[in-house]
Amino acid sequence: MKKTYVVTALILELLVLTVFLAGTGFYTYIVAEKEMQKNMEQAVISSETGSKALHITSERDLIAIPYYYSWNDYFKIRYGQKGIYGRVTLNDGTRFDTSSDYWWVYLADDHTVTKEEVRVFFLDEECDDQHLYDPVFEAECDDLFIHGGKVTASNRTYKLADIDYTMGKKVPASVWENNDYLYCTKVRTAKNNTEKRLNKEAEKLLDDLITKRADGDYAPTKQEDIWTSYYFVSISTKYGKYSTVQLFHPVEIALSSNKAVYIILAATFILIEAVIAFVMSKLYKNRKEYDMKSKRLSRGVAHELKTPLAVTKAYMDNWDYLTEEERASYAKKVNREVEDMTSLINALLEMDKIDSGSLKPEIEEVDLASLIRSVYNRIRPLAEERSLDVKLPEEEEVIIKTDLKLMKIALGNYITNMVKYADKRAEIRFSMTGSKVNVIFKNDSTNEKKSNTDKINNNGMGVEINENIMKILGIDYGSYMKDKETIFWFEAEKA
């Protein structure tokens, strides 16, 4: 049985997992599609802007414009989850990587800055600053680059990287500056490890695409895919070629930009899985308890039927040898055994009604004191036969709201148990607490103390019946042993 519940729980959890994965996958697909369209539009805009700016009239334009225009426009629209790699290749094979961090500086006059005024340089050491204010260069510069030497700004001096290329004539940087104020800023092509990784991917992709075109193979300008998308531009001039690619992963962007949604979805999934596990565990325990109860009842019924049947058989076996006077006495005894068996069968029928839920309570006002006296009068002969000292409640009237039929069955079980297992005395009394009445049944039973609270009537099923009745009526109940007394109780609301 346990295996069945475990398998059922696993099937349900797998179904929930399948629905969760399908739903999450569909949501991710929709979000990734939107991210792909948005980023592709931005890539096209930035690439077209760079293309329009490439009015190449010289070798300097081919090298300077990617630094000056393309990256400037790119940084206006960058979202931080895109890899970009650009490269300028001159006809003589000289290559310029426009995707490494670089600095650009220009003359800060009152007029509009032109690309001719811009100079590019690279530091030979790390610098966390974004700007170098009022820089002083001790180096040479050509028409585009500042070569070697050093730069001092904000009381710090940095070493400049040398460049194996000269654009025009080299002159001291001071000649170019001509005492103008310089504006100097750092262009960061990757601000975090994610961007560095994406830029590396873009570099490899650019190499592959350029190689394909060089070999005469087809190299698509763009690829729109939720896993990897890119936009590739390659512009050829008489001075050389400028190539760039923008790469991004829509699914990765969707996942990172919607973390809160995925956390909520995951939490909901875990909660549902936990609820399924809890419910199936509860169902298994309830089924196990029900089976144990059924076995206990079956054993009890078999045991209780065995005695009256054996006694009846013994009486009937001796019937032919009895006198008329003895037969009359034996007939009463046989009749009592039959009544016991009838009581057992009726109890079984009531138990079945209660367990099946077909027995619905009909709530009305009931005089509990009067009902107890009425039920006891039916059982009084059993008490008198055993010469018991039985005390009933002194109250004349105690009104509660309950189902008369169910309460009568429960009281019959309580009182029968109290009388049958008493040694010399038994008592029923009320204890009032506010709007509640506590009904107590106790006797001085000393035999089988450990099992007395497991029995309520002569067929051993009173416990099961009364538990179910009290649950149906919403009444608190219990039992315990104190010194040489066995006590059963229930607590009901007064009307």
In the prediction, which pLDDT does 146 show?
96
300-356 and 363-493: identical CATH topology: no
**Mean of the pLDDT values across residues 152-157?**
91
In the prediction, which pLDDT does 393 show?
93
For residue 232, pLDDT over 90 is answered with: yes
Check residues 357 and 23 and name the one with the higher pLDDT. 23
**Mean of the pLDDT values across residues 435-459?**
67
State the Cα–Cα distance between residues 381 and 387, nearest whole angstrom.
10
What CATH code is assigned to 300-356? 1.10.287
Q: What's phi and psi for 424, nearest 5 deg?
A: -135, -30
Check residues 52 and 392 and name the one with the higher pLDDT. 392
Domain spans, the chain:
33-254, 300-356, 363-493
pTM: 0.60
In the prediction, which pLDDT does 488 show?
93
Residue type (1 letter), 176: W
The domain covering 363-493 belongs, at the CATH homologous superfamily level, to Histidine kinase-like ATPase, C-terminal domain (3.30.565.10)
Q: Quickly state the pLDDT bin for 78 (edges 50, 70, 90).
A: low
C-beta contacts of 390-397 below 8 A and 24+ residues apart:
390/419, 390/422, 390/425, 390/426, 390/427, 390/428, 391/425, 391/426, 391/427, 391/428, 391/429, 392/428, 393/369, 393/428, 393/429, 393/430, 394/429, 395/369, 395/430, 396/369, 397/367, 397/369, 397/370
- At 315-341, the pLDDT tens digits run 788 788 888 888 887 787 778 778 767
Beta bridge partners of 84: 246
In the prediction, which pLDDT does 222 show?
94
DSSP for 444-479 reads: ---TTHHHHTT--STTS-HHHHHHHHHHHHT-EEEE
- At 40-76, the pLDDT tens digits run 988 887 776 555 555 788 899 888 888 876 555 445 4
Token output for 33: 């599609």
Check residues 119 and 344 and name the one with the higher pLDDT. 119
- At 249-293, the pLDDT tens digits run 999 999 998 999 999 999 999 999 999 999 988 888 888 877 776
Tell me the pLDDT of the chain averaged across its residues.
84
In the prediction, which pLDDT does 201 show?
95
In the prediction, which pLDDT does 229 show?
96
In the prediction, which pLDDT does 118 show?
87
